[in-house]
Amino acid sequence: MTEFIPPATRWHTLPSPFAMKRGGELRDARMAYETWGTLNAARDNAVLIVTGLSPDAHAASNEGNPEPGWWDAMVGPGKPIDTDRWFVICVNSLGSCKGSTGPASVNPATGTRYGLAFPELSVEDGANAAFEVVKSLGVDTLACLVGNSMGGMVALAYLLLHPDSARAHINISGSARALPFSIAIRSLQREAIRLDPNWNHGDYDDDTQYPEAGMRMARKLGVITYRSALEWDGRFGRVRLDSDRREDEEPFGLEFEVESYLEGHARRFVRHFDPNCYLYLSRSMDWFDLAEYGDGDVEAGLRRIRVDRALAIGVKTDILFPLQQQEEVADGLRAAGADTEFLPLPSPQGHDAFLVDIARFGPAVRNFLSSL
Amino acid sequence: MTEFIPPATRWHTLPSPFAMKRGGELRDARMAYETWGTLNAARDNAVLIVTGLSPDAHAASNEGNPEPGWWDAMVGPGKPIDTDRWFVICVNSLGSCKGSTGPASVNPATGTRYGLAFPELSVEDGANAAFEVVKSLGVDTLACLVGNSMGGMVALAYLLLHPDSARAHINISGSARALPFSIAIRSLQREAIRLDPNWNHGDYDDDTQYPEAGMRMARKLGVITYRSALEWDGRFGRVRLDSDRREDEEPFGLEFEVESYLEGHARRFVRHFDPNCYLYLSRSMDWFDLAEYGDGDVEAGLRRIRVDRALAIGVKTDILFPLQQQEEVADGLRAAGADTEFLPLPSPQGHDAFLVDIARFGPAVRNFLSSL
């Protein structure tokens, strides 16, 4: 399977072997990352961004790649994550197919891609790999660690496993553990891929046998859970497609705008993300549970994290990482001694609001970073 | 495809031809129904129940079939829908595969089953067919029309299209129109079936070529949206399967209790519901919009309905037919002149609460019916 690597990507080779939490190890693995701004002489102005499941390291345009990034409105000179002040690093997740080593990468031991021979991937592995990138850039302590969605899990693991690695933390639509509704959704997404005969137990072969039907289903189900019914009521209502965009000859074909919206998302995703990478990253979220570090108690796990300041932001319309989970993070970090703010936002856009509701997320992130 | 018909089923043959709303007609079509209790001499104690997508007409045990029905706790002597007082009728939906004529039935014109040759099915067709059953039983005016979920749509169409057909109405987790989140979910369920090669454009053949993978996906997605995250947090949490129930040898196999729960639901459904019937009934809900009867305004559509008394019940945790939709029904019926109560319930079980939270739904329905 092709990897999808943006042009400004830089790489850091991980220590070899790189031990994985659940067993096994990687050799000669690498992490893809990009940076913005300049590390100051005191090396105390670094901000690391860890991402959701699918983004690459290109969070925003930069010298190497003027194309807008996935968080372009948030990262740049004068923007909420102000690159005139901060040295910003964004890593592509370990296990992804967008530059960092993952199941779509070639296994140096065999000369063929890993596929399902890739060791079991946990959120903690991604955190440890991101930590190595930061260390390689000469940063001992981050000014702030920002994690969105899955990245909110990665960030908490990073902080817990690497004491004194950051002074502040912004957890956006993240959580300290996976709960059954989101596990059910992700399990179904994975099942859609696994049921596709072209998946072939992970042994598909580039373009000829890509599990397109499974990936379409997985992506559409993802998009349904990334947004909210409230947003869609206003955005789509019951509007139907114009007749020239209808599939009237196709039994049960597309008819409503909302169906076409999902179709567009599926088309842009399918063949641009590796199915095995999707499966590995998805499962890593199900496994994540900070209670493992707190004798079965998630708050006790959170209490092992040491940061000076924390901000947990969530959205009332989020059905995938519901607001109580960000409140749980805030309560735990506060109990751990951090000066912590919990900020519930009334964004209608659901889990993905941090990508689109910049009017609310921009000031929230800007104000917190400005106060550091 | 096999039909799945409970033993106490009775039938009423519809007028032939039976014209369908969107064009086409059925010949020699029949409706399956069951009854409980006795119609009184004044013929004014009849209660009709119209169902969600999948139930048959066997709402409760009766003389012909002592097996518990799908609403057994609600229907019977002394129960909330008290068959000592009421003559209760439950119909299997037109288009279903559980006794009433649908895509899995044999087309008398060809001698083969309809499949996709079945005319387009609308909620209104189901309402008109149910009306014929009630009329055939000698009932001019129902004491109460009870509709759950899709049946809440059917009931509103029934009341609007057949003036003076009922004095009272209970709308449970229903709606006056489909909104985009539920359209998206149903569209994805249908796509799962359509993408299954065994669906074969509706031309599968019994056991040898049933679209099992597609139906599994559709059912699991259904169950996810029928319940609620809140209920599952308490019910499943992060509990894992015992090792003897794990699928450790299967890559990405079941690991959590919530996954096993979905699997159980899928296994009980697959091969017990006809895929084409599922597609037709599912799409009929997307199409339903009482605004068609109100010059584009759903409340104006509702205002055309005449009943004396109405009760709309909804559940805060319902993501498929959210509570605002039952409030919309209540507001519209009240504006139409009905003495109307809107009853939001704090059930944690989501859309399906009316099937399981009898502690709340029982008294609500009992009190309303007692007051008639």
> Can you identify the CATH homologous superfamily of domain B10-179+288-370?
Alpha/Beta hydrolase fold, catalytic domain (3.40.50.1820)
Is A349:A313 a contact under the CB 8 Å cutoff? no
Which residues of chain A are within 8 Å of residue B291 when distances are taken between CB atoms? 238
Look at phi and psi of residue B19 and say left if phi exceeds 0, alpha if psi is from -120 to 50, else beta: beta
User: Helix (H, G, I), strand (E, B), or coil: what is residue B19?
Assistant: strand
Which residues of chain A are within 8 Å of residue B178 when distances are taken between CB atoms? 238
- B56 marked as part of a ligand binding site: no
Is A149 catalytic? The answer is yes
Active-site position among A286, A318, A331, A357: A318
Is A162 catalytic? The answer is no
Angle, CA B57 vertex, CA B54 and CA B60 arms, to 5°: 110
In tens, the pLDDT along B183-199 reads 999 999 999 999 999 99
**Cα B336 vs. chain centroid, distance in angstroms?**
25
Q: How far is CA A24 from CA A20, A119, A191, A351, B328, in A?
A: 6, 6, 25, 33, 56
B179 in reach of chain A (CB within 8 A):
yes
What kind and span of H or E run contains B18?
strand B18-19
Are B180 and A217 inside 8 Å of each other by CB? no
The single-letter code of the amino acid at A358 is: I
SS (H, E, C) A102-164: CCCCECCCCCCECHHHCCCCCHHHHHHHHHHHHHHCCCCCECEEEEECHHHHHHHHHHHHCCC
Residue B7, both tokens? 């033993």
Which residues of chain A are within 8 Å of residue B183 when distances are taken between CB atoms? 238, 256, 258-259
Where are chain A's structural domains? Answer: 10-178+289-370, 183-278
* pLDDT string in tens for chain A (372-residue length): 456 788 889 999 999 999 999 999 999 999 999 999 999 999 999 999 999 999 999 999 999 999 999 999 999 999 999 999 999 999 999 999 999 999 999 999 999 999 999 999 999 999 999 999 999 999 999 999 999 999 999 999 999 999 999 999 999 999 999 999 999 999 999 999 999 999 999 999 867 789 999 999 999 999 999 999 999 999 999 999 998 888 777 889 999 999 999 999 999 999 899 999 999 999 999 999 999 999 999 999 999 999 999 999 999 999 999 999 999 999 999 999 999 999 999 999 999 999 999 999 999 999 999 999
In tens, the pLDDT along A156-175 reads 999 999 999 999 999 999 99
Nearest CB among B213, B232, B252 relative to A190 is that of B252
Q: Cα separation of B95 and B274, whole Å?
A: 10
Which residues of chain A are within 8 Å of residue B180 when distances are taken between CB atoms? 229, 232-233, 235-238, 256-258
Q: Which of B259, B320, B323 to mutate to test the interface with A (most CBs of A within 10 A)?
A: B259
CA nearest to A229 within chain B: B181
Is B351 catalytic? The answer is yes
Burial B105-133 (b: 16+ CB within 10 A, else e): bebeeeeebbbeebbebbbbbbbbbbbbb
Residue B281, both tokens? 């009934």
B351 in reach of chain A (CB within 8 A):
no
* pLDDT at residue A370, as a whole number: 98
Residue B359's contacts (CB-CB under 8 Å, 6 or more residues apart) are: none
User: Quick one: CATH architecture of A10-178+289-370?
Assistant: 3-Layer(aba) Sandwich (3.40)
Residue B324's contacts (CB-CB under 8 Å, 6 or more residues apart) are: none
Q: Is the bond preceding B17 in cis, omega lying within 30 degrees of 0?
A: yes
* pLDDT string in tens for chain B (372-residue length): 456 788 889 999 999 999 999 999 999 999 999 999 999 999 999 999 999 999 999 999 999 999 999 999 999 999 999 999 999 999 999 999 999 999 999 999 999 999 999 999 999 999 999 999 999 999 999 999 999 999 999 999 999 999 999 999 999 999 999 999 999 999 999 999 999 999 999 999 867 789 999 999 999 999 999 999 999 999 999 999 998 888 777 889 999 999 999 999 999 999 899 999 999 999 999 999 999 999 999 999 999 999 999 999 999 999 999 999 999 999 999 999 999 999 999 999 999 999 999 999 999 999 999 999
Rounded to a whole number of angstroms, the distance from the CA of B179 to the nearest CA of chain A is 6
Residue B108, both tokens? 């008398």
CA nearest to B254 within chain A: A187
Task: Give me the residue label for tokens 């993802």.
Answer: A222
- A352 marked as part of a ligand binding site: yes
Is A363:A80 a contact under the CB 8 Å cutoff? yes
Q: Cα separation of A94 and A83, whole Å?
A: 25
Which residues of chain B are within 8 Å of residue A278 when distances are taken between CB atoms? none
User: Quick one: CATH architecture of B183-278?
Assistant: Orthogonal Bundle (1.10)
Are A224 and B185 inside 8 Å of each other by CB? yes
Which residues of chain B are within 8 Å of residue A256 when distances are taken between CB atoms? 180, 183, 187, 286
ipTM of model over 0.90: yes
Rounded to a whole number of angstroms, the distance from the CA of A344 to the nearest CA of chain B is 18
Please name every residue paired with B177 in a beta bridge, in sequence order, or none if there are none: B289
Residue A304's contacts (CB-CB under 8 Å, 6 or more residues apart) are: A160, A293, A294, A336
Is B96:B114 a contact under the CB 8 Å cutoff? no
> Is it true that B10-179+288-370 and B183-278 share their CATH fold?
no
The backbone torsions φ and ψ at residue B353, rounded to the nearest 5 degrees and listed phi first, read -55, -35
Rounded to a whole number of angstroms, the distance from the CA of A184 to the nearest CA of chain B is 6
Residue A248's contacts (CB-CB under 8 Å, 6 or more residues apart) are: none
Query: Which is it for the CA torsion B239, B240, B242, B244, positive or negative?
Result: positive
Residue B73, burial from CB neighbour count under 10 angstroms (0-12, 13-18, 19+): middle
Q: How far apart are the first and last CA of chain A?
A: 43
B187 in reach of chain A (CB within 8 A):
yes
* pLDDT at residue B2, as a whole number: 59
- How many CA atoms lie less than 13 Å away from A244 in the CB half-sphere? 0
Rounded to a whole number of angstroms, the distance from the CA of B240 to the nearest CA of chain A is 10
